[in-house]
């Protein structure tokens, strides 16, 4: 049996392992040892190469390991550097060959990494198969792409996507996206909508949609708590009670076309079709401009202790004796020996509207 040999070494500016997606943005040079130079003959025919290398800084391994997306997988189902054979394989773009030096982009290996082998990359999947792989991946980790955008600080892309939920682009949404991306990244959590991580929002306006989209803590998955305090602020908290609260700093009152139109179109719900269109345009412009600011300029950030509500209780359904619709057991009003939903019983209930939370008397 032949030995595994070191055929070259990686040179780049990355001296410590970091986010693999960040690393892939960098260029590296692979320097092949002189005695293997002839093995590079016609490597330029390939635009992409597979680089096999040793994770030389990796020590020890676990057979189950947390993955980049935050869930736990077996080491052979992950790309963790901590593996029984500490070997990495990455497809990189071959930018240039200069003798025994290969300039590449997309290699997630740090400076000094020993290279064991190089092969040309020939895709075996056709496009349809690749799309299928991507779909399977999205089914297993639906928030993977969002978390990737958060980790790489791709705020504009996050805002574009949050707009799909929110319906328009506005400064409030942009602030929510920015605040949430900052906190999620700082805390290093990957919320999966299972109430392990909870967002406490202090407003139910546009800001809250940015927070929901980016944190994944939403109205529907019970990981969103609404405290009706009327502040552009939210706290991201873990079950251990540790949290980070981020709150908008006061902003200078604008006296411009945008603020005039805001009064006319939004506050007074008036104005012409042209006013509305112009307002939308300015609002969109401002929202993307906001992303250019430093986080400290716009927000204060503090660590806080948070008392989280218990995990949402799960109740059986009861069938209402009048409308025959299933109703959560805690939302049943007894009337004599009948079990009625609050609507049929004409009983009071709580309602969350644009105005906040209010009890509806019947």
Which residues of the chain form contacts with Zn ion (CB under 5 A)? 170, 172-173, 206, 320, 322-323, 341, 344
The string of DSSP letters for 192-224 reads -SSSSEEEEES--SHHHHHHHHHH---TTTT-E
| Cβ distance to Zn ion smaller for residue 10 or 233 | 233
Residue 349 neighbours by CB under 8 Å, 6+ apart:
331, 342, 359, 360, 362
| Cβ distance to Zn ion smaller for residue 115 or 344 | 344
The distance of closest approach from Cβ of residue 168 to Zn ion in the complex, given in angstroms and rounded to an integer, is 6
- HSE-CB for 11 with a 13 A CA cutoff: 9
The distance of closest approach from Cβ of residue 331 to Zn ion in the complex, given in angstroms and rounded to an integer, is 10
The distance of closest approach from Cβ of residue 205 to Zn ion in the complex, given in angstroms and rounded to an integer, is 7
| Cβ distance to Zn ion smaller for residue 102 or 344 | 344
The distance of closest approach from Cβ of residue 87 to Zn ion in the complex, given in angstroms and rounded to an integer, is 49
What are 281's two structure tokens?
């345009």
The distance of closest approach from Cβ of residue 336 to Zn ion in the complex, given in angstroms and rounded to an integer, is 15
The distance of closest approach from Cβ of residue 30 to Zn ion in the complex, given in angstroms and rounded to an integer, is 48
- State the SS3 of 273-327: HHHHHHHHHHHHHHHHHHCCCCHHHHEEEEEEECCCCCCCCCCCEEECCCCCCEE
| Cβ distance to Zn ion smaller for residue 150 or 320 | 320
Residue 50 neighbours by CB under 8 Å, 6+ apart:
89, 90, 91, 92, 118, 119, 120, 121
The distance of closest approach from Cβ of residue 197 to Zn ion in the complex, given in angstroms and rounded to an integer, is 24
| Cβ distance to Zn ion smaller for residue 27 or 276 | 276
**Minimal CA–CA distance to 161: which of 172, 173, 152?**
173
**Adjacent-strand bridge partners of 8:** 32, 115
| Cβ distance to Zn ion smaller for residue 173 or 180 | 173
Residue 6 neighbours by CB under 8 Å, 6+ apart:
33, 54, 114, 115, 116
The distance of closest approach from Cβ of residue 320 to Zn ion in the complex, given in angstroms and rounded to an integer, is 3
| Cβ distance to Zn ion smaller for residue 57 or 168 | 168
Q: d(Cα 329, Cα 348) in Å, to the nearest integer?
A: 16
| Cβ distance to Zn ion smaller for residue 173 or 265 | 173
Contact assessment for residue 323 and residue 344, using Cβ atoms and an 8 Å cutoff: yes
| φ, ψ of residue 58 in degrees (nearest 5) | -80, 130
| Cβ distance to Zn ion smaller for residue 33 or 286 | 286
The string of DSSP letters for 100-157 reads TEEEEES----TTPEEEEEEE----S-HHHHHHHHHHHHHH-TTHHHHHHHHTT-HHH
The distance of closest approach from Cβ of residue 161 to Zn ion in the complex, given in angstroms and rounded to an integer, is 15
Residue found under tokens 């700093």: 249
């Amino acid at each position: 049996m032949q030995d595994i040999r070191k055929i070259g070494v990686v040179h780049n500016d990355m001296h410590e392992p970091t986010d693999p997606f960040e690393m892939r943005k960098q260029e590296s040079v692979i320097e092949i040892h002189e005695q293997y130079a002839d093995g590079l003959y016609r490597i330029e025919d390939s635009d992409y190469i597979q680089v096999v290398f040793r994770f030389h800084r990796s020590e020890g391994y676990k057979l189950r390991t947390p993955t980049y997306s935050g869930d736990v997988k077996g080491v052979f189902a992950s790309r963790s550097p901590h593996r029984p054979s500490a070997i990495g394989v990455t497809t990189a773009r071959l930018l240039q060959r200069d003798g025994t030096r290969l300039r590449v982009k997309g290699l997630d290996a740090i400076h000094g990494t020993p290279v064991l082998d190089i092969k040309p990359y020939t895709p075996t999947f056709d496009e349809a198969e690749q799309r299928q792989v991507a779909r399977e991946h999205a089914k297993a980790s639906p928030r993977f792409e969002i978390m990737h955008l958060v980790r790489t600080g791709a705020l504009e892309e996050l805002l574009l996507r949050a707009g799909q939920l929110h319906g328009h682009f506005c400064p409030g949404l942009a602030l929510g996206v920015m605040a949430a991306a900052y906190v999620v990244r700082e805390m290093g959590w990957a919320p999966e909508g299972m109430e392990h991580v909870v967002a406490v929002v202090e407003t139910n306006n546009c800001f809250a949609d940015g927070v929901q989209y980016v944190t994944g803590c939403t109205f529907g998955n019970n990981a969103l708590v609404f405290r009706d305090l009327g502040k552009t602020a939210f706290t991201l908290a873990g079950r251990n009670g540790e949290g980070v609260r981020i709150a908008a700093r006061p902003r200078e009152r604008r006296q411009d076309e945008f603020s005039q139109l805001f009064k006319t179109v939004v506050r007074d719900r008036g104005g012409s079709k042209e006013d509305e269109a112009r307002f939308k345009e300015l609002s969109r412009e401002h929202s993307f401009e906001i992303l250019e600011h430093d986080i400290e300029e716009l927000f204060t950030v503090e660590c806080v202790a948070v008392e989280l509500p218990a995990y949402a209780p799960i109740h059986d359904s009861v069938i209402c004796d009048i409308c025959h619709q299933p109703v959560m057991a805690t939302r049943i009003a007894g009337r004599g020996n009948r079990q009625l939903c609050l609507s049929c019983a004409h009983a009071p209930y709580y309602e969350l509207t644009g105005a906040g939370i209010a009890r509806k008397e019947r």
